[in-house]
Amino acid sequence: GAVVSQHPSRVICKSGTSVKIECRSLDFQATTMFWYRQFPKQSLMLMATSNEGSKATYEQGVEKDKFLINHASLTLSTLTVTSAHPEDSSFYICSAGREAEQFFGPGTRLTVL
């Protein structure tokens, strides 16, 4: 099956710094990538839809200036959490789309001190 990777798997940073998370589709070209944030009780919130070569589409309530998404190629999308604060600590998951399918990455655990 298709493989999606995320890097790093875990990151700890100080408040006020920026953190970049990469999402890669390893064996297919993904025209669309999605970024999610996991909340308590395993609820998943869709943050944004990332389309290769164009601006990301953010869901209502998600600050686009805080969560910068870049989809520079068909195999890579990045999420940058700018000026991170402790409330941004969470598990961030990406998924990559191919035709009608979606494949989830393993997630990135962000801890902001």
107 lines the binding site for other proteins (CB under 8 A):
yes
- By C-beta, is 20 or 91 nearer to other proteins? 91
45 lines the binding site for other proteins (CB under 8 A):
yes
Quote the least distance from Cβ 7 to other proteins, whole Å.
15
Question: From the list 38, 70, 89, 111, which residue makes contact with other proteins (rule: CB under 8 A)?
Answer: 38
Cα–Cα distance between 94 and 109 in angstroms, integer? 12
Asked if residue 89 lies in contact with residue 10, where contact means CB atoms within 8 angstroms, the answer is no
Cα–Cα distance between 90 and 87 in angstroms, integer? 8
